[in-house]
């Protein structure tokens, strides 16, 4: 896939996530592979469903510096950038999405002060690389912070925890979720799968509580 094709696919995903209610206002973010090992990152403070292919920043995932900026001078790089870069370095991810989906927030509530929520007995677990529908998947849940950039330390601790070595998502309580994959297509599959797992797990919990 060329960089131009990646740019078009990333902004298409932003529109689709907006349509599904997973990003709204100016929240959320996405990144994907640029030429030379860099990352393409959506800007901050804008309506993500309106971002164009030529409005992505290019950052170095190692140094976290900006290598190229859009022509529009009013655009600013996403505060998700350092988190994206850390996940890319630690997990080899080449595409990462950040959503503010209600299902992710409600799923995080199920941790009830703990550091994970277990997903089990769902066919869609097979949508996460390496998982079978008979397995239990512990999804890490971290505390929120006043600013996105301050989340880096909490994300780092979750990624370093061997209990979560197979996870492709980190849920941020009262906030949303970061989901990644080896490329844009795997990240897309993981985003869609995790959001289904969140919805199903929350619905089951609510049904049991009412029963």
Q: Please provide the DSSP assignment of 1-47 as one string.
A: --HHHHHHHHHHHHHHHHHTTSS-TT--EEEEE-GGG-EEEPEESS-
97 bridge partner residues: 30, 179
d(CA 181, CA 12): 17
Question: Which of the following is catalytic: 5, 19, 123, 148?
Answer: 123
Q: How many CB atoms lie within 10 A of CB 49?
A: 15
Contact 202/110 with Cβ under 8 angstroms? yes
Supply φ then ψ for residue 130, to 5 degrees: 90, -5
Verify whether residue 123 is a known catalytic residue: yes
Q: Which residues are catalytic?
A: 123
């Amino acid at each position: 896939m060329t960089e131009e094709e990646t740019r078009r696919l990333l902004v298409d995903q932003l529109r689709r996530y907006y349509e599904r209610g997973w990003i709204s206002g100016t929240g959320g973010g996405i990144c994907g592979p640029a030429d030379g090992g860099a990352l393409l990152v959506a800007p901050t403070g804008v309506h993500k469903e309106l971002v164009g292919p030529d409005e992505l920043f290019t950052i170095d995932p190692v140094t976290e510096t900006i290598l190229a900026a859009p022509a529009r001078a009013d655009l600013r790089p996403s505060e998700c950038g350092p988190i994206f870069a850390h996940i890319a370095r630690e997990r080899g991810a080449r595409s990462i999405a950040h959503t503010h989906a209600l299902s992710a927030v409600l799923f995080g509530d199920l941790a009830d002060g703990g550091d994970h929520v277990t997903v089990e007995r769902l066919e869609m677990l097979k949508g996460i690389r390496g998982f079978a529908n008979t397995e239990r998947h512990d999804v890490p849940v971290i505390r929120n912070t006043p600013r996105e950039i301050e989340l880096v330390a909490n994300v780092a601790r979750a990624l370093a925890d061997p209990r979560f070595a197979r996870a492709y998502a980190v849920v941020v309580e009262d906030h949303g979720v970061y989901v990644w994959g080896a490329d844009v297509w795997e990240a897309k599959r993981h985003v869609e799968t995790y959001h289904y797992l969140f919805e199903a797990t929350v619905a089951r919990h609510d049904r049991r509580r009412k029963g």
